[in-house]
Structure 1
Amino acid sequence: MLLKSFQISDYRSVHDSGEVEVEDAKTLLVGVNEAGKTAVLRALQQINAPSDTEGFSALRDYPRSRYTEVQRGERSPDDVVVARATFRLTDADKALVIEHSPLSTDVEVLTVFRYLDNSLKWNFGHARLFAVQDDIEKDLARLRAHLANRTDTGEVVAALDALNTGRSATAPLNGVFATKLTAWLAEAYPLIDEDDEKEEQRFDRIKGHVTLAVSVAAAGKAVRARIPLFVYYSTYFTVRPRINLAALAAREAAGDIDVEYDFGNLCLLRLLGHTAAELSELAAGEPRPENYRGGAGSAEYQTAMTDRQAALDDRQYRLNAASVDLTRSIREVWGDESVQLRLVVDGQYLKVVVVDDIGVEVELDQRSEGFRWLVSFFVVFKAQARDNLANAILLLDEPGLSLHALKQQEFRKTVSRLAEDNQVVYSTHSPFMVGTDELDLVRIVEMTDRTTGTRVHTRMVVDDPRSIYPLQIALGYELAQSLFGQSRNLICEGLTDMMYVEALNIAFTDAGKGLRTGVSIVPASGASKVAYYATILVSQNLKVAALLDSDQAGNRAAAQDDLVQLLTSKKILRTKDYCSPTVSHPEIEDLLRETLVRVARDDMGWDVTATATAQPHRPIIDILTKEVSGFSKFKLVRGFIRWIGSHEVTDLTADEQAGVAKLLAAINKALV
């Protein structure tokens, strides 16, 4: 199953995060310091945290400013939902549900609720958890009539009448009533004419509905066992350069483990497959001959020495294998093929040392904070991967923050590799941990004031402009790197326009009708700024064209003398030339009008089909803006990108295919 969405409430700085959609691979939580990113991840982990993770505590975790609500008994911890997660079930999950509950063919999702008292509840979304009286009313009446027509059934019929008295059509078939009705069915079954196939089938239908609640509960239990583990990682989980094995073993034995301090060390030991006590005992020294009858010549002493040597060899092989594995992972991100990591045991100390390019060994704490973080991350990740990380959901809190900007970009690729097998949700406020090709994966986390608390937005329009500053920096950096990197440049009005053109270009390139190679698509942050971007690019002797909507802003920009002189009218492309002629003042979205109406309805639940059909002249964005509360152009383009990624070009309408092909051909011609 895959995490589809989640919502956090009544947890530390989070009063209500709002519904947060999660991507199938990687989702980014972006926000400034103190916005509440860590709180969101910490609460989300409790949906299915590792067994050694501390649960919720009302005193520690309920919003402190409102804790008197709990003290006065106004809010009970067993009635406060802190984390709610909805999972999309796979075909294997659905098959498991049907196996336990054959009538539950409508199950698509599993929603899990984790309460402040750490209890858990669940449902199958809008699917039925139990049947109601109306589901069996007709069959039960006919079965009663069948039994009443037979002899010696008076008591059974009377028992049914007594059981059914006062039952409304919406009364649920669960609890005590379901138990009693099941017992009655067992008593009535021998009285049914065994040659009457209709009544046999009627009996089976009634029993299926009556036992639905029980079978759904069994299905829920089976599916809940498949909920992915939520693994949280933060910068606090650091591997120490020198681990005192005896001291760590003593803390473990006394139950005095400091999770934040010792967690990285314990993961390193788990990676080696040894406990601190085992390595400490092995480091204590060789067996002493005087402790054996017969001394050094005894068979027992020789066996002990042989066993010790085998244990030392096993330790060395494990240390070497782990060192090689970690070195390989570090080199991929660090970009230095000469760096080497070694794990060595020196008496009662397990040390992590780094060998540089001239062969000098230094302990890990003598390297940079960024390098230490990277080592710690891979140790913790690989240690947990040996156990139950398969299909787990990884929650990474500010990963790579201490890495250099370029190495953060490299680490982003590592996260993408992790996301091939595990869903990843990570928080950051670094622009270098956000790729410009990942903007549709971003969720903005902000807290404008403590009374409102932390909110998570799936749109770029936020209350605090600082929240999207990392994205602006990322775009600015990308623009600075690529602005003069291509000889051919297409300027679009905004970010969503760029995303549409890029998505369509990828799809149509696969069909052999895309843009020529080496075309850079540049978003101008508004029609009025297109001329400025054109001026900069043209001054560098680059080939430039512009794509403008045919709304008022686009018309004003297209009429600017400076822009016309710079590009000439042949290189100023207008959406009206490629959209349906019936649309008045079309924007780029009207190029995909019918498909976007379907995507908005099926993917976002925004059904404007009737209005779009009745008003074909009206721009689709105008319809959506007026009829959909909280409409977001950014969310719509994200939905389209997902749609086009799983469909063929031929799934667009014929007019849309023709319009897009004509537009891409015009761009190629303008940039010859």
Structure 2
Amino acid sequence: MDGINTMRIKSFQIKNYRSIKNSGVCYLSGDNITILAGKNESGKTTILEALEDFNTGKNIREEAKPLHNQEATPEIAVTFEVDKAELDNLFNKIGVEHSVTKDTSIEIIKKYPNEYSVSQETINLLAREDERKEKKKAIKDIYKQIKDIHSDYSQIGGTLPELSFENVTNLKNLLNRFKNQITPNLHIISDEKDKISISENLQGIINILTEMETLELLNDEFIKQIKQLIPNFVLFSSFDDIFPSEIPLANASNNEFIKDLAIISNLNLDMIRSGSPADRAGHKEQLNIKLKEDYEKFWTQDLTKVNIDWDSEKLYFFIKESGKFFPPGMRSKGRQWHLAFYIRISARSKEDVSNIILIDEPGLFLHAKAQKDILTKLQDSANDAPVIFSTHSPYLIETNKLSRVRLISRPEEDGTIVSNKIHKSADKETLTPIITAIGLDLSIGLDVAKDNNILVEGISDYYHLSAFKELLNFEFKKDVHFIPSAGADKIALLVSLMIGWGLNYCVVLDNDRQGREADTKLSKDFGHDDIKIILVSETEDEEIEDLFERDDFIKYILDDESNESLPEKKNSQLIKQRDLNYDKVLLSKSFFERRDEIRTSLSDNTRKSFQNLLTRIDETMGSFQEDGGSKAVDRS
């Protein structure tokens, strides 16, 4: 697709737009998918609508005027990276002998209702600010000479204007007027050299100002040209876009849905209207084959097929399920939305124009597995066009791609703001989709934005350590928080969050194969000296369950009064034995809930093992200094 992606969106900033006072700069994800995550009413939709309003073919909507100040002017700034070749071509079009050495960032600003400009930084780049500075310096030097002569010969009259470069054209006009005022009286100047100097210097300043004026006019021409390269911002709403059941043929040529269908399937209305019966039959077969093959890539829920048919008056659309044909209107709202989404998004990413796809709450009406299909389609479309979508669903957030997420929040005083990192100041409701996506259980009352966190492998570790903290009346030097991951292999995600939030933490792992592999990988990824890892036992292949004396484990964890029928295995092996059907999470939760009942019944060896583990954790957490630094702690 020639001409596509010569301007690549890098960031945006929105000011004075509805609930937004100043969004801050939002930097887009490098993989072409950016996710705006936040709770309801945080301003996610407002951001997408503002970006839609950046389109060159429309005014910023009237209702965009800010809630906090009706007099303030809505403003949307978008920064693009523009290809070097495209910029050189643009400079050539406006007659400027200027080139850049590499792809360059250009910030374009749109103010209500439809006024485009470029930022001062961009102006400096385009106008060669070094050249402007040289011209200003030359003018200042000449102006001083004129001012000195005029002071010596005040009788020549005229009003010498103050030197200000805010309005170059106005300054030029004022100097021309001054020149006309003094010219008839130059004979009064007795020194011939001064007489010539004031006249020539005035004309010299006017000539330089004319050159600067030309540069400013070229900026205006640059804006006209660069506007033609701005991609289309296409907003797709989960609330409005529904797949139709039928469309009259008489209206089909102007129907946006049919236009999109034609882009992705080669739908030919002329063939449908006037082709021979054989050609129409062949065209229908090819259309349905194409739709089936493409759609089933992005809908894995069942063997549904999309079918198109027509008569002399209408185009008809059907969903084929179990050999029966149903109009889309007879299927669920989520299914209708997904069909429309598939057609619209496919077309936007494939058409021969540059698009940026904006989607408000994709998959709102779909269940979790279908939302995963939505994500697959978005990733496919992002190969051709940047995608920005809003969500509060964890199923549209991939745990290994949290860098896509931008948190949207709305502090009462500040209005809607964008955070480029998942930060600790965000409230729990804002963080919910991210927390859920990485496998944390909100039902146990976690608050991952607090300091001094002990990251453990799973829920059972969380319950065991929480229980023994109370059973042993263990007093940590700091107010610590246990946070469970969804397995040793997922704990790196929590470490990334802790680092991003600037929080103190340590990691507690079993000394089994998975724990040791996680230890090695975490040390490699985050630095051996920078990450604090504790293995629950010095004995290889021991897990947290093995810290219990066998009798304690069988009686208080497995809830079995007798151990005669159980095989002689480690506790950690016993609880995993399939034919015994133990659920370690439920058993650990039950132990936690019964902790007060068994407080005095546990053996000394079990208490000692957990006391030792908690002490090592406490020493590690205590090594973190108030300034966030830490001392080295030996790992056991």
TM-score above 0.5: yes
2:247 to 238, 243, 246: 243
CA offsets, 1:106-137, max 9 Å, x none? Answer: 99422222223233222363542656875236
2:14 to 8, 26, 38: 8
CA–CA distance in 1 between the matches of 2:301 and 2:323? 14
Q: How does 1:42-121 map to 2 (within 5 A)?
A: 42-48=49-55, 51=57, 55-58=59-62, 60-63=63-66, 65=67, 70=70, 75=71, 80-96=73-89, 99=92, 100=94, 101-103=96-98, 105=100, 108-121=104-117
Kindly provide the CA deviation profile for residues 180-207 of structure 1, in whole angstroms up to 9, marking residues without a partner as x.
99xx9xxxxxxxxxxxxxxxxxxx9999
Report the 3-state secondary structure (helix = DSSP H, G, I; strand = E; otherwise coil) of the residue aligned with 1:92.
helix
- The residue type equivalent to 2:223 in the other structure is G
Q: Deviations over 1:441-484 (max 9, x none)?
A: 211122354x6533322242345321111111112269879999
Whether the 8 Å contact between 1:490 and 1:519 is mirrored in structure 2 is no
Decide whether aligned partners of structure 1 residues 339 and 165 sit closer, same or farther in structure 2, where only a CA change above 3 A counts: same
**Structure 2 residue 405 is matched with structure 1 residue 405:** no
Equivalent in the alignment of 2:318: 353
Q: Distance in 2 between matches of 1:359 and 1:13?
A: 50
Q: What are the Cα deviations for residues 542-581 of structure 1, in whole angstroms up to 9, with x where unaligned?
A: 9xxxxxxxxxxxxxxxxx9767856998x999899xxxxx
The Cα RMSD (Å) is: 5.4
Map of 1:206-355 to 2, 5 A cutoff? 211-235=214-238, 236-246=240-250, 248=251, 263-264=256-257, 267-268=260-261, 282=273, 308-310=274-276, 316=281, 318-335=283-300, 338-355=303-320
CA shift for structure 1 position 208: 6.8
8 Å CA contact 1:493, 1:530 repeated in 2: no
Q: How far did 1:19 drift?
A: 2.4
Q: How much does 1:536 deviate?
A: 7.3
* AA aligned opposite 1:353: F
2:275 partner letter: Q
Does the CA-based 8 Å contact 1:133-1:173 persist in structure 2? Answer: no
How far apart, in 2, do the equivalents of 1:19 and 1:463 lie? Answer: 17
In structure 1, distance between residues paired with 2:140 and 2:46: 55
- Judged with a 3 Å threshold, the aligned counterparts in structure 2 of structure 1 residues 428 and 536 are, in CA distance, closer, same or farther, namely farther
1:56-91 deviation digits (Å, cap 9, x = unpaired):
332x3324x55xx65xxxx2xxx7133221223333
TM alignment of 1:474-493, pairs within 5 A: 474-476=437-439
Partner of residue 41, structure 1: 48
Secondary structure at the aligned position of 1:453 is classed as coil
- Map 1:566-605 onto structure 2 (within 5 A): none
Partner of residue 362, structure 1 = 326
How far apart are the structure 1 equivalents of 2:249 and 2:289?
Answer: 22
2:430 is aligned, of 460, 464, 467, to 467
Deviation at 1:433, TM superposition (A): 0.6
Structure 1 position 393, deviation (Å)? 1.2
Letter of the structure 1 residue corresponding to residue 77 of structure 2 = R
More off after superposition, 461-470 vs 363-372? 363-372
The residue identity in structure 2 corresponding to 1:109 is S
Q: Is the 8 A contact 1:492 1:521 kept in 2?
A: no
In structure 2, C-alpha distance between the alignment counterparts of 1:241 and 1:90, rounded to whole Å: 43
The answer to whether 1:135 aligns with 2:130 is no
Structure 2 partner of 1:417: 380
CA separation of 1:490/1:471 partners in 2, compared to 1, >3 Å: closer, same or farther?
Answer: closer
The change in CA–CA distance for 1:320 and 1:216 in structure 2 (over 3 A counts) is: farther
Alpha-carbon shift at residue 239 of structure 1 (Å): 1.6
In structure 2, relative to structure 1, the CA distance for the partners of 1:320 and 1:270 (3 Å cut) is same
Q: Structure 2: how far apart are the matches of 1:376 and 1:242?
A: 13
In structure 1, distance between residues paired with 2:308 and 2:380: 25
Secondary structure of 1:87 counterpart = strand
Shift of 1:537: 10
Counterpart in 2 of 1:654?
none
Name the CA distance, whole Å, in 1 between partners of 2:373 and 2:49. 26
Distance 1:273-1:488 versus aligned 2 partners, 3 A rule: closer
1:498–1:521 CA contact under 8 A, matched in 2 = no
Residues 575, 164 of structure 1: CA spacing in aligned structure 2 closer, same or farther, 3 A cutoff? farther
Instruction: Give distance in 1, aligned partners of 2:351 and 2:342.
Output: 15
Aligned length: 463
Q: Could you list the per-position Cα deviations for residues 504-525 of structure 1 after superposition, in whole angstroms to 9, with x for gaps in the alignment?
A: xxxxxxxxxxx969978699xx
CA deviations on 1:126-151 (whole Å, 9 max, x unpaired) are 5426568752367689999xxxxxxx
Q: Deviation per CA, 1:369-403: give whole Å up to 9, x if none.
A: 3332221112112334454444x211111112223
Q: Are the aligned partners of 2:233 and 2:358 in contact in 1 as well (CA < 8 Å)?
A: yes
Amino acid at match of 1:168: L
1:22-64 CA distance string (max 9 Å, x none): 2231111011222221111011111126x5xx64332x3324x
Q: Is the 8 A contact 2:301 2:370 kept in 1?
A: no
Aligned residue in 1 for 2:36: 29
- Whole-Å Cα distance in 2 between the matches of residues 481 and 264 of structure 1? 48
Which stretches in structure 1 are left out of the alignment for 5+ residues?
A: 145-161, 185-203, 253-261, 283-307, 501-514, 543-559, 577-584, 588-617, 624-662
The question of whether the paired residues in 2 share the 8 Å contact of 1:484 and 1:540 is answered with no
C-alpha distance 477-361 of structure 1, shift in aligned 2 (>3 A): farther
Aligned position for 1:374: 338
8 A contact 2:84–2:104 mirrored in 1: no
- Aligned partner of 2:408 in structure 1 is 445
Q: Compared with structure 1, are the counterparts of its residues 95 and 12 closer, same or farther at alpha carbon in structure 2 (3 Å cutoff)?
A: same
1:598 is matched with none
The residue aligned with 1:641 is none
**Structure with bigger gyration radius:** 2
Give the deviation of 1:351 after TM superposition. Answer: 1.5
Matched position secondary structure for 2:439 = helix
Give yes or no for contact 1:272–1:319 (8 Å, CA) kept in 2.
Answer: no
Using the TM superposition, give the Cα deviation of residue 531 of structure 1 relative to its aligned residue in structure 2, in angstroms. 7.3
Q: Matches of 1:561 and 1:223 in 2, distance apart?
A: 72
How far, CA to CA, are the matches of 1:489 and 1:572 in structure 2? Answer: 23
Q: 1:332 to 1:41 in 2, by over 3 A?
A: same
Matching of residues 537-576 of structure 1 within 5 Å: 540=572
Calculate the TM-score normalised by the size of structure 1: 0.55
Letter in 1 for 2:420: T
Letter in 2 for 1:378: Y
Secondary structure, counterpart of 2:297 in structure 1 = helix
The residue number in structure 2 matching 1:597 is none
- Structure 2's unaligned 5+ residue stretches are 1-6, 144-156, 180-206, 442-456, 461-483, 502-515, 526-530, 538-542, 548-570, 576-606
Contact 2:36–2:44 (Cα < 8 Å) also in 1: yes
**Which residue of the partner structure matches residue 122 of structure 1?**
118
Task: Tell me the secondary structure at the aligned position of residue 476 of structure 1.
Answer: coil
Q: Distance in 1 between matches of 2:544 and 2:520?
A: 18
* Distance (whole Å) between structure 1 residues aligned to residue 342 and residue 299 of structure 2: 12
In 2, the alpha carbon distance for the partners of 1:342 and 1:272 equals 12
Q: Is the contact between residue 80 and residue 107 of structure 2 (CA under 8 Å) also seen in structure 1?
A: yes
